[in-house]
Structure 1
Amino acid sequence: MAHKKTIDVQAAVAIAAAEAIAAKTQGTFGVGGLMLDQHGNVLQSLHNNVIKDGLIFDPTAHGERQLIDWYYAERAKGRDLPEPQDITIVTSLDPCCMCSGAILAGGFNVVVAAPDKNAGINYDASATFPALPEPLRAQAEQSFSYPAILGTSLYSRASTGATPKSFFIGKTISEPTQALCSLVFEATSAEVMEMFNTDLPQELLKDPATLPADHYIVRALKQQYPDALTYRGKPHAPDAGLAPFLKQAMARDREHGGAGDAVALLDSFGNLLLCMPGRMTQSGIRSAFMETTRAYAQLRYKLMHGAAPARHEEIRHYLGHPKDGTFVFAKGPDGSAVSFMNLGAYGSTMEGPLPLKNPAQFQYVLPSLPEAELAAVCAAMPPLYRSVIRIRPTQVADHALVAALA
């Protein structure tokens, strides 16, 4: 792949479409993308990997997010790559909030093929990005391109947003390629979303704290996070007992180049399963939340992959979907690109409506924005996030926990 060169938007989108078809074949969201340098060399191309072998692998494994982490990983190995402002990501589908936040946090350019009226950052097709917090809109207008689609079908459109980089000689997309990008995504969307609903309802979940210490599920949890199951609070009501675990991860987050954030995942019984720092020195988008949600999904995936149905059943009983538990952020969301990425990644983790009995699934200890401002950021997000998932971060109720972190 590395030696291919494309100086034509149409040719680049065709590569993204081929990746999207590969994703559909894998049984995951039919979205693909590639990363080009300032001369049109294809640095890397890949597709969505949310689902592998019929199991949730990583809810954050969207094409653009993976390309950006790949870029940072290559640079960390010493590879001489251009600066993000000289890099263009070409994607078959309008980036979701997570990927848009990641693109803006890094300062990359993006060329978009198909629209996504539900979760895309340009869901209203205005290219003014009202879904983004105010400070990020101008940056998006300068770096997000929606090339023209020539023709008369319902796929045709005039070009909007930024002008694609100057190395692109052809700057339009053909209708059939555009239709392919749209249809491959539409063909997979409902089916993949269904996979997020194969988890057991909360009333059927079993308490992992009742398992013996040498049980494979307990061992796997402690291997991932040695303090797993050592704290337990009331369900959905984290208290000051969680403070030492958050503080330890906050200190590690600072060591890893972060601003001292940490995210804990409590299950529906109030057990602490994970509490992780970010790894911002490794990649500018590996925030504490990204690390935590990915670690939990991949823990479940590893335990289920290749296992017998009886074992699948057992894992689903003891390790439920995080929507039945609580994510606790040390620091609440702010108006930054990384924070917007976290909100989007939280949406991708939930993938559907929050349980009515657990509306405060997303809690934070220390606020970074006044409550009304944070509510406004969430209310402006694309329809999937604001109307279906209904993202509403709330501050923890326990004053002692707030005092311990302040």
Structure 2
Amino acid sequence: MNKTIDIQAAVAIAAAEAMAAKTQGTFGVGGVLLDGAGNVLQSMHNNVVRQGLVFDPTAHGERQLVDWYFAERAKGTPLPPPCELTIVTSLDPCCMCTGAILEAGFNVVVAAPDAKAGINYDGAASFTALPQPLQQLAGKRFAYPSVRGASEYARLPSGATPKSFFIGKSISEATQALCSLVFESTSAEVMRLLHAGDDAALLDPASLPLDHVVVRALRRRYPDALTYRCAPHAPDAGLAPFLQAAMEQDKRDGGQGDAAALLDAFGNLLLCMPGQLASSVIRTPFMECTRQYAQLRYELMAAADAPLQDEIKRYLGHPKHGTFVLAIGPDAGAASFMTLGAYGSTMEGALPENNPAQFQYVRPAMPQAELQALCRAMPPLYRNIIQVRPTQVADRALVAAIG
């Protein structure tokens, strides 16, 4: 087992992972998980894109490290509690990863800033992008070590104090610059890939025969796929039985009884998923739903030639053209903040003008005005470009059925 008791050395590991991500053709971000003595437990990099295809919009390095930890514990691997562990990341965590880290209870050391999507986007380490209850928590867990030098990369330390096992507590300018530049050099191309071909005219998967590869793949993931249809972007009471079944499963799997459904641009039900919170505290219904859909598309396209890839994209469009529906709306907790961030990572850009209510919920968990204020406080990418704005479904019969 490798060991590092120096922040510079730990950031160098994260930077190496970021370089590996760049080579893979995905966002150049990496991280490493250390125990309370500086032992390296695992290192990972961004996996949003593989083989030039979108693999999983939630596969950021930090989120994967959190899920790795809980997966290992489920196998019986003896690991310390999260409060004793530290994630060292090459880039300031996005909202999704911040919510995951806070929900799980890890500490964080951050190398490069991210002025667009990072939780410390303004560099003040006041974490005003977070809901009020989480700001103080982040202040105790998120460390921004000093960067030695006099260039634009230099900075004074802020945020939390890194864990005491770190003897060296600063980062060199060269390593800081590497972390920033690797991310910047990959961002535009990955963003292009995330939306490549998604403006083509969509086709209705409900028109396909049952033995079509798309229908078979959908029903392997979710047997009730394509058995419900509503007006586009307007879920109605017919969705209730599917949500209720997933909500019951979510309770059995350790959740609060939530569910997340994905409808396509035609109003077809593609997926309706419970969470997997008994496996990992961050596997919420939305996380499961968006990951399952992305990986379904990836698996189909990775095995297809170019013409079939184009056909698959037209039958299984980017979710921005459809509608996500949560049974229970977001609240001010860390898991909900992670969901809001994961929704942003799934969209990775502005919504189509004809689909402003892409993100809906049935049962509110907080007043709509407070939820809107929470979303307006998110970092610039989320509030200005993606414009995260969950809204309650309009159909009162659906609200009554779930409420």
SS in 2 for 1:339: helix
Q: Deviations over 1:292-316 (max 9, x none)?
A: 0000000000000041111101101
Residue 34 (structure 2) aligns with: 36
- AA at the equivalent of 2:381: L
SS in 2 for 1:328: strand
Counterpart check, 1:399 vs 2:403:
no
- AA at the equivalent of 1:35: L
Q: Give the deviation of 1:199 after TM superposition.
A: 3.2
Counterparts of residues 15-34 of structure 1 (less than 5 Å)? 15-34=13-32
Residue 93 (structure 2) aligns with: 95
Q: Give the deviation of 1:62 after TM superposition.
A: 0.1
Whole-angstrom CA distance in 1 between matches of 2:49 and 2:197? 14
Counterpart check, 1:51 vs 2:49:
yes
Report runs of 4+ in structure 1 exceeding 3 Å deviation.
Answer: none
Counterparts of residues 257-268 of structure 1 (less than 5 Å)? 257-268=254-265
Whole-angstrom CA distance in 2 between matches of 1:298 and 1:162? 36
Whole-angstrom CA distance in 2 between matches of 1:324 and 1:155? 39
Percent same amino acid among aligned pairs?
69
Of 183, 186, 207, 2:184 maps to 186
Of 255, 272, 276, 2:273 maps to 276
Q: Deviations over 1:257-276 (max 9, x none)?
A: 00011000000000000000
Whole-angstrom CA distance in 2 between matches of 1:317 and 1:101? 33
- Check whether the contact 1:199–1:321 (CA below 8 A) recurs between aligned residues: no
Of 346, 349, 353, 1:352 maps to 349
Name the Cα RMSD after superposition: 0.6
Counterpart check, 1:317 vs 2:314:
yes
Counterparts of residues 2-401 of structure 1 (less than 5 Å)? 3-201=1-199, 204-401=201-398
SS in 1 for 2:185: helix
Whole-angstrom CA distance in 2 between matches of 1:313 and 1:22? 28
Alignment gaps of 5+ in structure 2: none
SS in 2 for 1:196: helix
- Check whether the contact 2:197–2:310 (CA below 8 A) recurs between aligned residues: no
Q: Give the deviation of 1:104 after TM superposition.
A: 0.2
- AA at the equivalent of 1:195: L
- Check whether the contact 2:254–2:276 (CA below 8 A) recurs between aligned residues: yes
Q: Deviations over 1:48-74 (max 9, x none)?
A: 000000000000000000000000000
TM-score (norm 2): 1.00
Whole-angstrom CA distance in 2 between matches of 1:300 and 1:150? 45
Q: Deviations over 1:319-363 (max 9, x none)?
A: 000000000000000000000000000000000001111000000
TM-score (norm 1): 0.99
Whole-angstrom CA distance in 2 between matches of 1:105 and 1:150? 32
Whole-angstrom CA distance in 2 between matches of 1:193 and 1:4? 34
